Every structure is written in structure tokens, then in C-alpha cells.
Amino acid sequence: MSSLATAARAVWDFIVGDDWATAVGVLAALGITALIAGAGAVAWWVMPVAVLGLLALSLRRAAR
């Protein structure tokens, strides 16, 4: 493995850890929040709902 790939892997492990689905979910939730807020609708509820859902799913995956 090249040093660049090793460094990229280290950064990935450091930031994302062992649960990439949660990281992707966080980015998706922020994107959806921006879309709803940009359309002028109330969007504050999106992140709490998304975070609780992502945490519950992550715990379910880990507990299996």
C-alpha cells in the first residue's frame, strides 16, 4: 500500500471510525436540512430526528 493510501486510510479511520453509515447519514441529514431551510420551510426538527434515528440504528447494528 502506498504511503498516500496509508495516510488516506488513517484519516478515514480517525474521522469516520468503524461506522461509515452513520457518517454518511449525518452528511445526508445536513443536506436535507439545507434543502428544506433553503425552500423557506421549518427545518429545525430534521437534525434531532435524524440523529436519534442514526444512533438507534448504529446501536442496533453494534448490538447484533
Is residue 59 part of the contact set for another protein (CB under 8 A)?
Answer: yes
Is residue 37 part of the contact set for another protein (CB under 8 A)?
Answer: yes
Is residue 11 part of the contact set for another protein (CB under 8 A)?
Answer: no
Measured CA angle at 60 (ends 55, 61), to 5 deg: 100
Query: Contact residues for another protein (CB under 8 A)?
Result: 14-17, 19, 22-23, 26-27, 30-31, 33-34, 37-38, 43-44, 46-48, 51-52, 54-56, 58-60, 62-64
